[in-house]
Amino acid sequence: MKITIIGTGYVGLVSGTCLAEVGNDVLCLDLDPKKIDTLNAGGIPIHEPGLDELVHRNAAAGRLRFTTSIEEAVAHGTIQMIAVGTPPDEDGSADLSHVVAAARNIGRHMSAYKLVVDKSTVPVGTADRVRAAIAEELALRGANIEFSVVSNPEFLKEGAAVEDFMRPDRIVVGSDDERATKLMHTLYQPFQRNHERLIVMDVRSAELTKYAANAMLATRISFMNELANLAETLGADIELVRKGIGSDPRIGYHFLYAGCGYGGSCFPKDVTALQRTAQDHGLTLQVLAAVEEVNARQKLRLIDKVERHFGKDLQGRHFALWGLAFKPNTDDMREAPALTIINQLLRRGATVTAYDPIATAEARKHLGDTIHYADSPMAALDNADALLIVTEWKVFRSPDFTRIRKELKRPIIIDGRNLYDPAIMAEMGITYDAIGRGVTEAKQQEPQS
Ligand code: UDX
């Protein structure tokens, strides 16, 4: 099939590449010439496991091409997939200007039937706006050409985006017309594997499904974070509670990890946007307001813990921080809890040395030279009073604890991701303060002979 992808951001680039991988002829459009130049020169603007190899293979095979030409892009694909950004407006609602502009371009230049697929996360009712924009452009030039608009929200997770696209657990399609539904079935046939993954529904339900999924997941996290704080007060361990409730199949184990708050490009933005949508229709989503509030507070939880050990005045204190990205396997710093935590430490007079396996360059864009950047986890510990863990990268899971104890001025680990066993930490002579588990004091170490 001939497919055009409009927007080569996270969703666009991954979708286009994966669709090329199964044999389609894909042309990706972006209006940013720098991005297209980078892609044409073999560079990948984002870090995503497996993506490099896939882009190179498909580009070399001529199935994946990149352009800045709107005319060429509209002429190319029978399927026009809109995957442009929908950044939050000042009031928190999604800014649809790029989506509508893409629709207008399609209407302005199309000369044959087009199936327009809304892939961007867009509020309920957007497909209607896209349809209206295309119809208006067609009317302006007196053209009478058929087209369909469907909603096909993307559920991919950063760090696992290629895998999520290639092996989806579901493919949601909102379609009100049969021709479009048939084409969507053909498009996704290669990704169906052993059973039907396509869930076809009306357009509005599909649009709402995307927000509902992210809001539900964010709610689980905030709920667990709130319970974690209660567990600490009560002397319970949230990790044990998590296992205890996760074993109920109605609850399940996923997305029950208490931590230092959710971040990223989706949850914060989508939770706010869904509330805005409700407000626009005279409703209030009370649960989501609390989800947001709890999350903002949770990002400060590690600061509470630092203050517990070092007092409010952190002048002259130096902290090692492991993990800057909002989650592992990405260099994405958008809404990353590390930013809030670092800013609060600096405001209180402390200094920070951070280590992240890949997000350092991105972090520099936000933090500049306000902190030091180490090139290994151990190098970050140099001269530090304590270690804070913010992102659960795999390399942090089994470090040399004896060395950590020796390097830190006070052997304290404040863990925002609950990576370690408190009993082992105590044995190792490290005081361990984790989310929802309270403080486990270090056991006195035998003097070395
Ligand atoms: C999310 C959705 O999972 C995805 O389906 C959607 O398309 C986009 O938004 P992503 O933002 O890449 O994906 O990350 P995700 O893995 O969902 O994590 C989001 C945030 O929640 C991270 O900050 C993570 O640290 C936090 N989180 C996740 C927790 O604090 N606890 C958990 O149990 C799970």
Residue of 51, 217, 251, 299 to mutate, ligand 1, most atoms within 8 A of C-beta: 217
Question: Which has the closest alpha carbon to 442: 397, 405, 387, 390?
Answer: 405
Residue range 188-205: mean pLDDT, rounded: 93
Ligand 1 atom closest to Cα of 335?
23
Q: Give catalytic status of residue 266 as yes or no.
A: yes
Q: Which of 262, 330, 331 to mutate to test the pocket of ligand 1 (most atoms within 8 A of CB)?
A: 262
Task: Give Cβ neighbours of residue 297 (< 8 Å, ≥ 6 apart).
Answer: none
**Which residues, in sequence order, are bridge partners of residue 413?**
387, 432
Ligand 1 center–CA 220 separation, angstroms: 11
CA–centroid distance, 376 to ligand 1, in Å, is 26
Query: Which numbered atom of ligand 1 lies nearest the CA of 265?
Result: 11
Rounded Cα distance between 327 and 159, Å, is 8
Per DSSP (E only), the strands in 267-360 are: 318-322, 351-355
CA of 157 to the centre of ligand 1 (A): 7
For residues 219-247, average pLDDT = 97
Instruction: Identify the residues whose C-beta falls under 6 Å from ligand 1.
Output: 154-158, 214, 217, 221, 255-257, 259, 262-264, 266-267, 326-327
Q: How much is the average pLDDT of 13-30?
A: 98
Alpha carbon 412 to chain centroid distance? 30
Question: CB of 86 within 8 A of CB of 122?
Answer: yes
pLDDT, tens digit (0-9, with 9 covering 90-100), for 380-417: 999 999 999 999 999 999 999 999 999 999 999 999 99
DSSP state, residue 445: P
Question: How much is the pLDDT for 448?
Answer: 57
Point out the catalytic residue in the list 18, 28, 260, 266: 266
Average pLDDT over residues 304-316: 97
Give the mean model confidence (pLDDT) for residues 267-276.
94
Q: What are the backbone angles phi and psi of residue 310, rounded to the nearest 5°?
A: -120, 0
Q: Which residue ranges form the domains of the chain, and what is each CATH number?
A: 2-201 (3.40.50.720), 211-297 (1.10.1040.10), 299-440 (3.40.50.720)
Q: Which of 86, 221, 302, 435 to mutate to test the pocket of ligand 1 (most atoms within 8 A of CB)?
A: 221
State which ligand 1 atom lies nearest to the alpha carbon of 213: 5
Q: Give, as one character, the DSSP assignment of residue 56.
A: H
Beta bridge partners of 64: 26
Residue 111: the pLDDT is 98
Look at residue 449 and tell me whether its pLDDT is greater than 70.
no
Average pLDDT over residues 311-338: 96
Q: Whose CA is nearest to atom 5 of ligand 1?
A: 155
Phi, psi of 185 (to 5 degrees): -60, -45
Distances (CA, A) of 75 to 24, 105, 143, 245, 314: 16, 11, 15, 53, 61
Q: Are 125 and 100 in contact (CB under 8 A)?
A: no
Contact between residue 122 and residue 211 where contact means Cβ atoms under 8 Å apart: no
Residue 91: predicted pLDDT: 86
Work out the average pLDDT over 193-210: 93
Per-residue pLDDT of 124-154, as tens digits, reads: 999 999 999 999 999 999 999 999 999 999 9
> How distant, in Å, are the alpha carbons of 156, 158, 169, 342 from that of 188?
15, 21, 12, 43
| Residues belonging to the chain | 449
Whether residue 447 is predicted with pLDDT greater than 80 in this model: the reply is no
pLDDT digit string, tens, across residues 326-384: 999 999 999 999 999 999 999 999 999 999 999 999 999 999 999 999 999 999 999 99
* Cβ atoms of residues 295 and 218 within 8 Å: yes
Q: How far apart are the first and last CA of the chain?
A: 73
User: Could you give phi then psi for residue 262, rounded to 5 degrees?
Assistant: -85, 150
Looking at residue 87, its pLDDT comes to: 86
- Separation of alpha carbons 431 and 403, rounded Å: 14
Average pLDDT of the chain to the nearest whole number: 96
Structure tokens at 358: 């890949």
If you measure from the C-alpha of residue 388 to the centroid of ligand 1, how many angstroms do you get, rounded to a whole number? Answer: 21
Phi/psi at 435 (5° precision)? -70, 125
Q: What is the pLDDT of residues 37-67, one digit of tens each?
A: 999 999 999 889 999 999 999 999 999 999 9
Ligand 1 centroid–CA 267 distance in Å is: 7
Instruction: State both tokens at 134.
Output: 């295309």
Q: What percent of the chain has pLDDT over 90?
A: 93
Measured distance CA(269)–CA(289) in Å, rounded: 13
